[in-house]
Structures are given as structure tokens and as C-alpha cells.
Structure 1
Amino acid sequence: MAMADDPAEQFDLAGLTVLPIPNIDNIAAVYTHAEERRAQLDQGPAQDTLIYYNATTAHLDALRSADPCEKYPGRITFFGDEIGLVFFRMPRPIHETAHLRLFLRINNIIVQMGLEGKFVATGSSEYKGTGTKRKEGDSGLLPKPPRWASNHYPTLVIEVGNSESLPRLYKDKDWWFDNSPPNLPQGDVRIVLLVKVYRQTKRIVVEQWHRSFYQSPTAKVIIQPHPHKPFSLHDSSHWVVEGAMVIPFQEVFLRPTQGQETDIVLTEGFFADMAMECWQRDAMV
């Protein structure tokens, strides 16, 4: 594959380090890179994603074979042999707190509707896209029935970005929509929730995207420190939240509501608490 002088610019990754993937016979070097990067993350701000170009399915298979635990060094997004770009995300604690806090709130609301046991938490399961593409999300939800099977796509996916830019997160969002079209037996992803963490300004942006809305998010919530109160990790009133978020029940469960079932409402109070917990977790490392 012909490569520009700066592969980061070619892949719309300006400001990030993008490396050629090691040769297959030296693929274990990726694990060395991962350990070095984890040490940097422990010491302070650093890129939390290893990004390689010229990658192929053979590289990924060799990487899995080289690891006795059969676990990649991070969550993977592979854009296929033709593009040759692979991401290995090594989530920071704030990254994990963001998607888990959001998923657990959605989970609790659904359980309160009496739907416990009627859905599956997909976590960071790997999904195979068109051709050779592969991806692991951060969290997801799969109703059952009708999609109870090993590799069936979730209806709702959560993706969090820390060092990734928001435009880069949009490519993750597009991956889910492009690789789970409605005519595939796995079923289509209906909603992607994007969470962008801005560590310098202590701001969090949450966007809800639907398959039918490619031009703009269906809903957007911005959470940021109060301009007239000192930064606080212990008082949610110190956070300003611009709006609540409503997730349509029918898009998640693929049927209309019944009885006490309602759309899933994430309130401003929830987002303020979520922000406080995220930055508390960030301050602990």
C-alpha cells in the first residue's frame, strides 16, 4: 500500500502517533509497545491507543496466536485488509467509568420496567463486519428475542473517546452502521452513543446517533464545570449540563412499548453525577 510521508494525516489522525505494524514474525513487539504505552498512561497524559497501518487479517491472527491468553493488547477496530488500519485502545479508568456508568444507568431503567432477563449486555465483544473488518465496542445491548445468537449485532452501542477526536469517533459510529446493514442476518445497529472526554477542560460530550441520522446527532448533551463555582469532585451542582437525553424504546427493543414500558430518559441530574464520578476516577490515578 502506498503511504504518504505522514500516515497520521492520510488517515485523518493528525496529532496522533501512527506506526507501521511489525512483521508477522515479530508480531509480539505489539505487546511490548502496549506495555510501554500503559506505563506512559500511568505517568500522565498520553495517547491511549496504539494505531498501526499496513495491517492485515494475517497480522491480527498472528497477534492472537502469539498471546497465550488469546487477548489483544486493547480493544480492536480493524478497518479491513484494503485500508490496513488497526486501532488497539487501552482504556484509561475514566474511559471505563464513562461507558460503564452510562450503560448501568440504561440497564437499571430497563430493569425497573420489568424487563430483567429480556436483554443481553454485550460488553466489548468482537464483531465481524463486511469483508475482513472487525470491531469491539465499549458497551452494548442486545434484546432477546429476536437476536439471541453469538455474533448478532447489538441494537445499541456505546463508544467512548479519550485521546481520539470527536471526528475520529464519528468513524467508529459509521463503522457500526456500515457493517450492520438491515439486510444482514446479524441485524442492524440502531443507535450509537458517543462519549467524548476532554480531559484538559473537564468537559464531556454525549451524542446519540440513529441509523437514519447521518448528518447530525439525534440528541447532544454537553457536561462542563460551572463557570462561577470552583471545580469540585464532590458536588454535582458544580456541573452544568445542557439538556437531558431520550433513547427511544422501540429502537432498542425493536417493538412498541407495552404496559409500564417507556422511552429511556437520561436526566440532567444523571449526567452531572456521571461527570463527577468520571473525574473522581481520573483523579485517583
Structure 2
Amino acid sequence: MPTSTVRFTNMQDLFDAINSTTGDFLAVTGLSRHFTESACEREKRRRKFRVRRYNSTCQILFITILADLYEELHAWIFTTSCDQLVRSGRERSWRSIGLATRRVEQGHPGGDGGEGDPTGGPHPERGNKGAWPTLVIEAGHSESLGELHYDMRWWFSTSDHQVKIVLLAEYDHTRSVIILEMWEGEAQTHGTIQQTAALQPILQQSIAIAQNTTTNPVSYNVTRGALIPSFRLLLIQDPGPGEADFVFSVPDLEDYGAMVWRQV
């Protein structure tokens, strides 16, 4: 599905464009850094959209439309992560940060900023107002995987790698497949010194989920195994006795695929 692009004229025309967009992603060009963010904040509660990213240099606003397929792509992943925390007795060690906006310079309206899909981080380590999450999930189905890669790099670089894991979830309409990618910040060593500026995001896992309609009932094929986010990176500490990395098993991912396809 193609990405929709419109040029900004006024706030009402922008909201009309949001209402008429059939995909989950809208790029709005020609927006000065002084556009009416407060109006967007009021309207997005009513019209089911969110401001995904604002690039003040290019004057482009990226908007996500909150359709059922889009929501299904990310909601199960975050909910299942929270369930694993509960089962391990760690629910009070986690803070769901949600859709709070994070900026290149916090407290600087009109500058570069962005919202993730569900985000979260350890409590109390990331419990302060404005703290960066350790986990960000970004989803899309009309937004290309390349555009999601841009989002991923923005989170790592803008947070100065305080964000530790970015999970991407895309439904590819062309190939009828779900792509899950897990990216982590990785240190590039120069001599004996590792610098934050030298950190580069590394693709740790790429998983494909395809629907198999030749079986009765319909089944789901998961390629490249379970999804395993790092406990250490999510909670910024090593796992204790009886604790281990999070695991989204192949059967879990098959169930996830079934839920996503109900919304396609």
C-alpha cells in the first residue's frame, strides 16, 4: 500500500486528510516548526491518530492512523511482554511509558520529536518524567519497512542510545507476510575505548510469519524461530536467580499471526 503525502495548508484541511486516509501512515509536508501542536493534541484523542515523528529541518510531520490492523501488530507484543514480567514477579519493576512524546531537546515544542507505539522501561531507573524507555515498538502496514528503519534509527540516536531495544512489526500486503525485526544498540570498539557516538544499531533477529491456507484449519509458518528480547537490556540489570531473557515462542508467534490476520 502506498504512503499518502499531503501538503499542509491549514489545520482543518489536515484533519480532513487524516479522516480520508485509507492506510495507517500520512506524511505532511510544509509544516513550520511553529505549527499548532496543541490542536493536534486535542484532535488526536478524538480522531484516532498520533503524531509519530516531526522533522523540523525538512518540515515534515509523520502521522499514524490507528486502524485495527495497525493496533493488532503492536498491542499483543507489548501485552505479552508485560505478562512475562507479571509471571516473574517483576511487574513493579516496569513502567509503561506509552505514547509520551520524546524530543531531541526535551521541553522544546516545535523541534524534532516523536512518539512510539507502546514503550516502557525499568522502574525506578526510568521512572522520572521525560525519561527514555528501554523498549520501543514501532508498527506499520502502509508504512514501508525502510520508513520503519528510519524510525528505529531516530530512537537510538536521539536518545543517545538510552533506548536499548526497538522492535519493528510490519504487515507486508504485497507478500502477505508479517515481518518482525529486533534491533539493539551495539558498540563499535576503537582501540580500548567504546564511545556512545560509535554505537550503531544491529539487527539481532528477523522473523517472518506467513499464513498457510492449504491446511484445515489455516496454520501459520514462523521462519527463524522464537523472538528473544534481552532481560539485561530491557531492565538494565543482569537476570537474577530463576530469571532469563524474555521468550516469544514459535507457538506464541503463530497465535500472534492468527490475531493479526483477523484484521487484514
- Distance change >3 Å, CA 47–CA 69, structure 1 → 2: closer
- Distance change >3 Å, CA 111–CA 271, structure 1 → 2: same
Q: Which residue of 2 is the match for residue 222 of structure 1?
A: 208
| Paired amino acid for 1:58 | H
The CA deviation at 1:228 is: 4.3
Q: Which residue of 1 is the match for residue 95 of structure 2?
A: 120
| Paired amino acid for 1:112 | R
Asked whether the 8 Å contact 1:73–1:88 carries over to 2, the reply is no
Looking at structure 2, the residues matched to 71 and 127 of structure 1 have their Cα atoms a distance apart, in angstroms, of 22
Q: Which residue of 1 is the match for residue 222 of structure 2?
A: 241
**Aligned mate of 2:252, from 270, 273, 281:** 270
Q: Which residue of 1 is the match for residue 35 of structure 2?
A: 59
Asked whether the 8 Å contact 2:153–2:201 carries over to 1, the reply is no
Q: Which residue of 1 is the match for residue 20 of structure 2?
A: 36
- The sequence identity of aligned pairs, in percent, is 21
Aligned length: 247
TM-score by length of 1: 0.79
- Distance change >3 Å, CA 262–CA 134, structure 1 → 2: same
Q: Which residue of 2 is the match for residue 141 of structure 1?
A: 120
| Paired amino acid for 1:221 | I
Looking at structure 2, the residues matched to 69 and 86 of structure 1 have their Cα atoms a distance apart, in angstroms, of 14
Looking at structure 1, the residues matched to 151 and 121 of structure 2 have their Cα atoms a distance apart, in angstroms, of 19
Asked whether the 8 Å contact 1:221–1:241 carries over to 2, the reply is yes
Of 254-263 and 49-58, deviating more is: 49-58
Q: Which residue of 2 is the match for residue 254 of structure 1?
A: 236
3-state secondary structure, aligned to 2:91? coil
Looking at structure 2, the residues matched to 204 and 103 of structure 1 have their Cα atoms a distance apart, in angstroms, of 16
Looking at structure 2, the residues matched to 113 and 217 of structure 1 have their Cα atoms a distance apart, in angstroms, of 27
Looking at structure 1, the residues matched to 252 and 184 of structure 2 have their Cα atoms a distance apart, in angstroms, of 22
1:191 aligns with 2:165: yes
Asked whether the 8 Å contact 1:75–1:137 carries over to 2, the reply is no
Asked whether the 8 Å contact 1:64–1:72 carries over to 2, the reply is no
Asked whether the 8 Å contact 2:53–2:115 carries over to 1, the reply is no
The CA deviation at 1:15 is: 4.3
How big is each residue's C-alpha offset from its partner over 1:165-204, in whole Å with a ceiling of 9 and x where there is no partner? 111100010110111005xxxxx10000000112354310
Q: Which has the higher strand share?
A: 2
Looking at structure 2, the residues matched to 272 and 198 of structure 1 have their Cα atoms a distance apart, in angstroms, of 17
- Distance change >3 Å, CA 261–CA 54, structure 1 → 2: same
Q: Which runs of 5+ in 1 are unaligned?
A: 1-13, 38-45, 183-187, 233-237
1:210 aligns with 2:184: yes
TM-score by length of 2: 0.85
The CA deviation at 1:48 is: 2.1
Asked whether the 8 Å contact 1:225–1:231 carries over to 2, the reply is no
Looking at structure 2, the residues matched to 68 and 140 of structure 1 have their Cα atoms a distance apart, in angstroms, of 22
- Distance change >3 Å, CA 34–CA 211, structure 1 → 2: same
- Distance change >3 Å, CA 62–CA 247, structure 1 → 2: closer
CA RMSD of aligned residues (A): 2.4
- Distance change >3 Å, CA 199–CA 257, structure 1 → 2: same
